[in-house]
Amino acid sequence: MTATRIAVRGDSPYDVVVGTGVLGELPGLIGAGARTVAVIHPASLPEISRPVCGVLEAAGYEVVALPVPDGEQAKSVHVAAELWSALGRYGVTRSDAVVGVGGGATTDLAGFVAATWLRGVQVVQVPTTLLAMVDAAVGGKTGINTPEGKNLVGSFHPPKGVLCDLATLVSVPREDYVAGLAEIIKGGFIADPVILQLIEDDPAGACTPEGGHTRELIERKVQVKADVVGADLRESGLREILNYGHTLAHAIERVEDYRIRHGEAVAIGLVYAAELSRLDGRVGSEIVDRTRSILTSVGLPTAYRREAWPALRDHMRIDKKSRGATLRFVVLDGLARPSRLEDPAEELLEAAYHEVAR
């Protein structure tokens, strides 16, 4: 099957290449002039980096493999500093390239390191999980975590290209694959309701990379993100809609010390955002019911611990979408009609959480 190329427009345009067995497209995504390519990948999964390194070496590049810790543990200033030192030792210049291979944490880290090394070198992302393909690797937002919160240190640094080889999804553990569906479902509620219909038609198929609608679901969600970030790279307006469900999700991740999967936290956050929308009089109960129904049908959580509210509320105070002391939420005014809720009353926030914790 041929590759699909989804264009991300804007000041720094690039393509997201989607297909099965398309790793050979990788050298063509690297800009002219590069001689050395640093491949950043999870240390526990060297098998996912070997084919990437092989393709690049065959294309004539000098390849340096740089393993990093798994998951969110990689997204620290300590790991970033080690990578900066490695890039210096191997003589990576401004015309060279970084390639991020792995899940969303790895692509976030690789993008941040590329953005900050020599004030910016090119990066190509090769996401290997569903979550990274449909969200983290697309859009140019890079970041690392601090003890105070997730992705609070970062930059906007569009990649030179993104390569989504669907063949890599076959080896993704089922729980991780299903967690990635939360971001796809989010895209259905904020922009493309066809996504929701496809999952409702075959929830079991949606839970596996061999599903009949897998490629269409991925391409539709990538297109949603491409349309948004192409119009608003730096999250000055439209791009904020991609944070639907994420204010509570990031707080949950912090309370759980990142031991919960991002997609699982997002699923709970989607229910919370839908309840906020309902309680603020913007939507009816059908949006909330449909949110819970779709998430439940694929095995994602829809509730969280009641006693966690005080800690969650504290963490939301430093959410990236806040402006000064004003907390901002992305909510819905209807299906595929995202909006903003600014400085909501504490009673509203707590009432919505009561529905999530019931």
Q: Containing H/E element for 130?
A: helix 130-131
Among 133, 151, 171, the domain-final residue is: 171
Q: Are residues 247 and 118 in the same domain?
A: no
* pLDDT at residue 90, as a whole number: 97
Q: Looking at residue 308, what is its pLDDT?
A: 97
Active site residue 350: no
Of 138, 171, 204, the one marking the end of a domain is 171
Same domain for 345 and 305: yes
**Catalytic site residue 261?**
no
- What is the total count of domains within the chain? 2
* 183 is annotated as an active-site residue: yes
* Catalytic position from the list 246, 278, 292, 321: 246
Q: Are residues 246 and 137 in the same domain?
A: no
Q: What is the pLDDT of residues 6-24, one digit of tens each?
A: 999 988 899 999 999 999 9
233 near 156, Cβ under 8 Å?
Answer: yes
Beta pairing partners, 328: 342
What does pTM read for this prediction? Answer: 0.93
Binding site membership for Zn(2+): which residues? 183, 246, 262
- Could you tell me if 139 and 160 lie in one domain? yes
Pair 161, 184 in one domain:
no
pLDDT given at position 47: 87
Structure tokens of 269?
A: 């956050």
Indicate whether 12 and 71 sit together in one domain.
yes
Are 179 and 97 in a shared domain?
A: no
Can you list the positions of beta strands (E) in 12-72? 14-19, 36-42, 62-68
Domain check: are 181 and 226 in the same one? Answer: yes
pLDDT at 333: 97
Q: Give the model's pLDDT for residue 33.
A: 92
pLDDT value at residue 148: 83
Q: Do residue 349 and residue 332 come from a single domain?
A: yes
Known catalytic membership, residue 354: no
Range of the domain at 122: 4-171
- Catalytic: 315? no
What's 129's domain CATH number? 3.40.50.1970
The 3-state DSSP class for residue 330 equals strand
DSSP 8-state assignment for residue 258: T
Residues 201, 298, single domain; the answer is yes
Q: 78 catalytic, yes or no?
A: no
Q: What is the DSSP code (8-state) at residue 205? A: H
pLDDT tens series, the chain, 358 aa: 689 999 999 888 999 999 999 999 999 999 999 999 999 999 988 888 999 999 999 999 999 999 999 989 999 999 999 999 999 999 999 999 999 999 999 999 999 999 999 999 999 999 999 999 999 999 889 999 988 888 889 999 999 999 999 999 999 999 999 999 999 999 999 999 999 999 999 999 999 999 999 999 999 999 999 999 887 666 666 778 999 999 999 999 999 998 999 999 999 999 999 999 999 999 999 999 999 999 999 999 999 999 999 999 999 987 655 555 689 999 999 999 999 999 999 999 999 999 999 7
DSSP 3-state of 224? helix
Are 202 and 154 contained in the same domain?
no
The pLDDT assigned to 247 comes to 95
> Contact at 8 Å (CB) between 179 and 264?
yes
Q: How far is CA 351 from CA 9, 249, 251, 282, in A?
A: 40, 17, 17, 15
> Residues marked as binding?
70-75, 104-108, 128-129, 141, 150, 183, 246, 262
Going by the annotation, the residues of the binding site for NAD(+) are 70-75, 104-108, 128-129, 141, 150
Here the CATH number for the domain that contains residue 213 is 1.20.1090.10
At residue 232, the pLDDT reads: 65
- Could you say which DSSP state residue 37 is in? E
- The last residue of a domain, from among 154, 171, 188: 171
Gap between the Cα atoms of 19 and 216, Å rounded = 11
Burial class (CB in 10 A: 0-12, 13-18, 19+), 344: middle
Residues 139 and 41 in one domain: yes
- Number of other residues whose CB lies within 10 A of the CB of residue 307: 8
